[in-house]
Amino acid sequence: MYRSGEDLKMKKIKIALVGQPNVGKSHLINAISGAHLHVGNFSGVTVEYKEVSFKRGEYEIEMIDLPGLYSLDTYTPEEEVTKKYLLNEDYDLIINVIDSNNIIRNLTLTEQLCTLGKKMVVAFNMYDEVKKAGGEIDTKEFYKITGIKAATTSAREKEGIEELINTAIEAFKEKDCCICKLTYDEKIERRARKLSEILQKGDFKLPARFVAIRLLQEDRDIYQMVHDQPIFLEIHEPLQRAIERLKIEFDEEDIKDVFVDERMALAKGIAKKIYKAPKEETLTDKIDNILIHPILGFPIFLLFMYMIFWITFEVGSIPADYIDSIFSNISEAANSILPKGVIAKAVTEGIIPAIGAVVMFLPNILILFLGINLLEQTGYMSRAAYVMDGILKHFGLQGKSFIPLVSGFGCTVPAYMAARTLKNPKDRLITMLVLGFMSCGARLPVYVLFVGAFFAPEIQANVLFAIYIGGAILGLITAKVLRVTLFKGEPEPFVMEMPKYRFPSIKALFLDLWIKTKMYLKKAGTFIALAAFIVWFLSSFPQNSQMVSEYEKKIELAQNETQKIKLENELNAYILENSYLAKMGKAIEPILKPIGFDWKMSVAAISGLAAKEVIVSTLAVLYHANDKNEKLVDILRKNISFASAISMIILIMIYSPCLAAMSTFYAEIPQWAWRGFYTIYPNVLAWILAFISYHILT
């Protein structure tokens, strides 16, 4: 490929964009990139990265946005990917992005990156919020203290972007730029120097001081790297003596705690020198005085959750009748257009009613997702985690478990992935084992259907709220039992950043809802349509041709519409009772009959293991909702007892989530013992509680 002389003269700079989660790295690279952003995956893993290339003067700059990490002591797959990149890949410079509102916490990572020996620039992002509150960050003083060049930026307002890029180019050009001035306590530095002297005899790509410091912190990756070299025999004993001596001198049982304290002390010292705090109490502080109040915080959280579920039911049910009538008209139109036969029946009696029954609840689901997104974007979600920390501790969980638990109200798949942020393996596994009790958005259509059918209109929203809260409470009780029996020990202390309150991005909210809508409609038009067709086929065949022919003659000779509908219903009932599906349902009915299920409900419950929305479409097909010109809620009210309906709600609330969620759990937890336990225990518990509730109500 031809390249101009100008392109050949260009100097390349490869920049690694590094920072802790939620510091605005993605916004920053978007602000830098314009329309040139490229998204890819790291080799061999599903972790994403963003990459952008652009030109500035004589330089061609390639910038890679690495996944966020709190520390080089990694716990999640994303953090591990970033660490490996920093240690092993070739790049020229690091831009360390810092949230200007959380300087101390962010600087603990800066110190670790500083020891890598790479040229580095710090971007104090979200600086517009600091200025607005009356604060100030002195980047010149920061350079004097640390030896690291810095710039203040605002990715949202696109301020300071050019200054940051120019600072990075300056750092790249200066031969002796960015010599890190940060050091630990002399007791640590003394031992690091001794180890460095030995390490310099080895063949390492990384600076000897960095390797020594990481060895003192018992970094398993660095230890393995040194272990594979001949120098390991010489350094092993001095290293162990140094670690034990530091534990004694700092009075700590774990050497990692020594370095955590040191990094925090360094960060606080730097922040005190460079950060000028606002003179007055900020708006965030004033709001926090109310929302995370020791007494008012929890009732306010419950009020917010109640409002979300109340609006979900009350407002979401308004378009239901219109959507129902639209699909009824579509079914009638299809019936008149399609030639009479099996295909017409499959479409008008199976697929269209099933899709309509599921799509009818799309508004409810979108409102629920909108509510959860608002909590996240405004910054309230981390406050709710803080408020819930004290309560969760009583149940053997920590405050950080709250984020995946609340995410479970949306979808269990990303909730399992969100549990990666829990560093303690016990805390993470307990959280994942009870996540299924947080009713996902896919269960909402089932709840709305049964609540609408069996409860008075004035209490329906309250019942829906009670179902969700009831599932959450049961999850907490289960977590406590697991902590006392299988996972003995205390949960880790809770630490989480408190971002400033922000007005949510309307564009981001609607974009997210649009994506959710497309995914839901795609699911309804493909997976659920296929499932509905399979259910219709299995419920319509085999057919006794002689019996069907006799009924069809009777229907033709019917004297009025009432008699005709009666005969059609008798024919449908006969075909259904003798179908493949009836045989399958009656085979599993003995297991579910003690909890009040007939074979139709049994089939619907089992179909929900594929996807919970399929329960609604299955019931619509089995009860011939379209044939009777009645709403599905009215049909269920006539055919299912109140006790059986409650039993169904309890089963759906507790038993295994969909196959996609279960597959995610299996991917996250490799131990077969826990996979087996996870597969069995919620289904047994669901059956027991459904059995108890059914027999109490009957």
- The whole-number pLDDT of residue 1 equals 39
Asked whether 415 and 475 are in contact (CB, 8 A), the reply is: no
More confident residue, 154 or 516: 154
Query: Tokens 């005899």 belong to which residue?
Result: 201
- The whole-number pLDDT of residue 596 equals 94
Cα 223-225-230 angle, rounded to 5 deg = 100
Q: How close are the terminal C-alpha atoms of the chain, in Å? A: 80
Least confident span in 3-7, 181-185, 462-466: 3-7
Least confident span in 69-78, 281-290, 562-571: 562-571
**Residue 451: pLDDT above 90?**
yes
Least confident span in 486-490, 595-599, 641-645: 486-490
Model pLDDT for residues 15-24, shown as the tens digit of each residue: 999 999 888 8
How many whole angstroms separate alpha carbon 34 and alpha carbon 40?
17
By CB atoms closer than 10 A (0-12, 13-18, 19+), residue 409 is buried
- The whole-number pLDDT of residue 494 equals 59
- DSSP helix, strand, coil percent of the chain (3-state; round to 5): 65, 10, 25
- The whole-number pLDDT of residue 42 equals 43
CATH domain 186-276 topology: Helix Hairpins (1.10.287)
372 falls in which pLDDT band (50, 70, 90)? confident
Q: Taking the domains of the chain in order of start, what are their residue ranges?
A: 5-173, 186-276
How many whole angstroms separate alpha carbon 437 and alpha carbon 474?
7
Closest CA to 241 of 183, 198, 299, 286: 198
**Residue 39: pLDDT above 60?**
no
CATH domain 5-173 topology: Rossmann fold (3.40.50)
- The whole-number pLDDT of residue 2 equals 42
The H or E element that residue 15 is part of is: strand 11-19
How many whole angstroms separate alpha carbon 516 and alpha carbon 215?
46
- The whole-number pLDDT of residue 3 equals 45
Least confident span in 8-12, 51-55, 197-201, 274-278: 8-12
User: pTM for the whole thing?
Assistant: 0.62
By CB atoms closer than 10 A (0-12, 13-18, 19+), residue 689 is middle
Cα 635-658-655 angle, rounded to 5 deg = 75
How many whole angstroms separate alpha carbon 629 and alpha carbon 612?
25
Find the mean pLDDT for residues 500-526.
80
- Top mean pLDDT of 521-525, 552-556, 640-644 is at 640-644
**What is the average pLDDT score of the chain?**
84
362: DSSP letter: H
- The whole-number pLDDT of residue 437 equals 94
Find the mean pLDDT for residues 690-696.
96
**Residue 6: pLDDT above 50?**
no
Model pLDDT for residues 129-148, shown as the tens digit of each residue: 888 878 899 999 999 888 89
Find the mean pLDDT for residues 633-648.
92
- The whole-number pLDDT of residue 625 equals 61
- The whole-number pLDDT of residue 343 equals 83
Cα 148-23-302 angle, rounded to 5 deg = 150
Q: What percent of the chain has pLDDT over 90?
A: 24
**Residue 531: pLDDT above 70?**
yes
Asked whether 568 and 555 are in contact (CB, 8 A), the reply is: yes
Asked whether 108 and 71 are in contact (CB, 8 A), the reply is: yes
Q: What percent of the chain has pLDDT over 70?
A: 92
Model pLDDT for residues 232-286, shown as the tens digit of each residue: 888 889 999 999 988 888 888 888 888 888 888 888 888 888 988 766 666 777 8
**Residue 673: pLDDT above 90?**
yes
392 falls in which pLDDT band (50, 70, 90)? confident
Find the mean pLDDT for residues 291-298.
86
Find the mean pLDDT for residues 624-640.
75
**Residue 177: pLDDT above 80?**
no
Scanning 158-231, the segments in alpha helix (DSSP H) are 161-173, 186-199, 208-216, 220-227
Model pLDDT for residues 410-442, shown as the tens digit of each residue: 888 878 877 876 767 888 899 999 999 999 888
- The whole-number pLDDT of residue 93 equals 93
**Residue 7: pLDDT above 90?**
no
Find the mean pLDDT for residues 449-458.
91
**Residue 169: pLDDT above 80?**
yes
- The whole-number pLDDT of residue 498 equals 66
Find the mean pLDDT for residues 583-602.
90
Encoded tokens for 681:
């225990």
Q: What is the 3-state secondary structure (H, E, C) of 310-325?
A: HHHHHCCCCCHHHHHH
- The whole-number pLDDT of residue 44 equals 46
More confident residue, 565 or 2: 565
More confident residue, 6 or 230: 230
